[in-house]
Amino acid sequence: MQSNCDRYGRLYTYEAANNACPKEWHLPSDDEWKKLEIELGMQDVVNETGWRGTSPGQGKLMKIGGKSGLNVELTGFRNYGGYENMDDNAYFWTSTLAISNNEKAFSRELKERASVKREESDVNLGYSVRCIEGSPNSENSIVPNDEKIDKLISNHERNYFSIGVGSGAVCGYIGLKAEAKFGIKNFGLGVQYGMGFLPDIPHYSIGAKLYYRYFYLNTLICNDDSYDGFNQFAVLIGLDYPLSKNFNISGGLGYYSSDLPVTWELGINYKIFK
């Protein structure tokens, strides 16, 4: 139907897809799809087949309203007998034939889930096409391990200043905190200042953090007014992990004092400067 074509675009066999892009554009290869998925946060699973992905979900980012800008419609596909899965799934050709079978080519599938499916599909099926400007420049290969980087983590693991809120049995149950981190590659050093409040008892803390990627060791000095300003030490091991480009969630467990030998913290932080 012309109305479906106007809304969803055309569906192509693999052969037609390789001739569908305008001059100075090309059908992306399997590698180029992988590079897009890595840019959107996919990690070690990028070379695998089947449904794969990581938080916040590359499939979610690719669909309408997602931050990738692709705004993929769930167009369905055309098989030998008709059209299927319209408004439920979307399927895209890559230019890369399957290594073991020239009657199949690598494709991508999206549906109402956060992950992206990479598979080998029959070249006679009708799938959608997205084109890339420029000449083809890659063949199918395994993405090197040093390129399997969660870009969201990479953005957060260098330098930033953040403010956040948190709770835990460290210098108060609910509080505010400010943090700064200075990192080189996988390692980093940070400082943290926090204010926590038990009922009618304010607490203050300052601490130093040692990072390896998104793991940290946090040493805090807590000023507890209920003990006439007596400083106590807390040592925690935790995780500082990105939820998005601007927000991190952090949590840790550790030792506080003989009265409270096991302590914890949990918070969410907003990156002001990066």
Hey, which bits of the chain come out as E strands? 25-26, 50-52, 77-78, 83-84, 89-97, 104-111, 116-122, 132-133, 160-168, 174-184, 187-198, 201-212, 215-224, 230-242, 247-255, 263-273
pLDDT tens per residue across all 274 residues of the chain: 666 777 778 899 999 999 999 998 999 999 999 999 998 888 889 999 999 987 678 999 999 988 888 899 899 999 987 888 988 999 999 999 998 888 999 999 999 889 999 999 999 999 999 999 887 765 556 566 555 445 445 445 578 889 998 888 777 668 888 999 888 877 889 999 888 876 556 678 888 999 988 899 999 887 765 555 556 788 999 998 888 778 889 999 998 876 778 888 899 999 888 6
Contact (CB, 8 A) for 106 and 49: no
Sign of CA dihedral 153, 155, 159, 163: negative
- What CATH number is given to the structural domain containing 204? 2.40.160.20
Among 95, 126, 149, where does a domain finish? 149
143 and 173 share one domain: no
Structural domain tally of the chain? 2
244 and 116 share one domain: no
Question: Exposure of 159 by Cβ count < 10 A (0-12 exposed, 13-18 middle, 19+ buried)?
Answer: middle
Among 131, 149, 167, where does a domain finish? 149
Among 149, 174, 198, where does a domain finish? 149
Could you give the CA distance from residue 66 to residue 61 in angstroms, rounded to a whole number? 4
Tell whether pTM > 0.75.
Answer: no
136 and 49 share one domain: yes
Domain region containing 204: 154-273
Could you give the CA distance from residue 180 to residue 203 in angstroms, rounded to a whole number? 20
Both ends of the chain: CA-CA distance in Å? 49
144 and 192 share one domain: no
Could you give the CA distance from residue 240 to residue 153 in angstroms, rounded to a whole number? 10
Residue given tokens 């040493």 in the structure block = 219
128 and 205 share one domain: no
Could you give the CA distance from residue 140 to residue 124 in angstroms, rounded to a whole number? 20
161 and 133 share one domain: no
